[in-house]
Amino acid sequence: MSALFASGYFFPLLKGTEIVAGVLLLVNRFVPFALTLLAPVLVNIVAFHAFLAPAGLPIPIVLAAGELYLAWSYRDAFAPMLRARVEPSHSLAEPISARTASAAARGAVLDASR
């Protein structure tokens, strides 16, 4: 812990990330993004308490359950991220005019499907 504190950047970055993600959850904006930011932090909190300080484990377990519940609730937002193979939406080698035309066509398809 003292080495991480001595680095000078780790704890401000960690706490800043936690605060930003917490605010995003509270205002119900970018919830999947906030959950993604909090997941590695929460895994480390649970691991710390499971292996080094088991007396404090109940609270991280409750937090992990809340994270899992919200992740399940927003599972459609996570589905594209969990695909084994994904094609990029456009190629950088494709001319800009073709990219805009294909984006417009995709938008028309999306509008028609609604």
Segment 3-25, tens digit of pLDDT? 878 889 989 999 999 999 999 99
Angular region, 8: left φ>0, alpha ψ -120 to 50, beta rest: left
Query: Among 52, 77, 48, which residue's Cα sits nearest to residue 63?
Result: 48
Question: Where in the sequence is the domain holding 90, given as residue range(s)?
Answer: 2-113
Does the global pTM surpass 0.75? no
Measured CA to CA, the distance from residue 32 to residue 70 in angstroms comes to 8
State residue 28's pLDDT score: 96
| Number of structural domains in the chain | 1
Question: d(Cα 24, Cα 18) in Å, to the nearest integer?
Answer: 10
The vertex-15 CA angle with 11 and 18, nearest 5°, equals: 145
